[in-house]
Structure 1
């Protein structure tokens, strides 16, 4: 949620555009964080329910037995690191574009956080989904029809809002533009 704070700090901008972009990005980041982490926790819970372990070295090659859960887990991970085409990217880029004119160096450091996130997400996915599968996972079952419902809903939200973020940004702008206008018309609000 650190990206939300960076986006919110864009309100300190003298320019209406940077403030509106940053606040829109922060709002979108809150929404997409809910869908992405929701899918991540859902799939981790499904994996735990089937394996009864969260110990990463014991896991491996799970995508061979649970491909639907594995793909959903990977989509959540890639969206979390801000892969273009996912809602995670759309939210992060708006935050960075809004905050950079106000806080160039802190924003540049936050961009480096994306690299760190990519490292640990890819490390975890490689060790749990790919590689050699232990024989004890040979009887794992993939997502049931009931489990598919939330998986599909969250994956669709992550991809649709990543490909066409205007569905959300237009909605958020209706609430953000009056806030930015009020702050810009009363600069003493920021000095308190």
Structure 2
């Protein structure tokens, strides 16, 4: 009787582990589709980079914005590091510490997306909105899409932080945090590419 119970438990654990692996695999496919979207948006931006319709260019808009954009980039890079510390806390089985570092990651990400929203709002008010030229339309679409992803990531952080606090570090919860980590680090990589492609040429 005991052997049968143990066998059933092993079968359930194996089934749960397989389900988690399938979800991770599906999430990788989701990230790949997101990568294709951002690659296309970057390609469109490059194609439209000189379509300014005699409006402001990247050099005009970004040449004096280096300090702000540098700080904004540091916030996102720091949030990637703090999410890494979250992973260390989870590996150690320390749920409260994981929640703490998720909170720090949230604050850093919130600072980043707030600066991004403020930038886009300021440009729109200064008659440099997406309807001004093809260049600005491509810029707003690319940067705005990234900002929307970061915003979704912030909501996800809050939900998972609550789940870790309430349910603990169950295998299912740990898997969800792992997938969120993949998503968050992916957004950091995308931002580095955006910084190099969009902002850096404007500083030169």
Q: Using structure 2 for the length normalisation, give the TM-score.
A: 0.41
- The structure richer in helix per residue is 2
Q: Using structure 1 for the length normalisation, give the TM-score.
A: 0.43
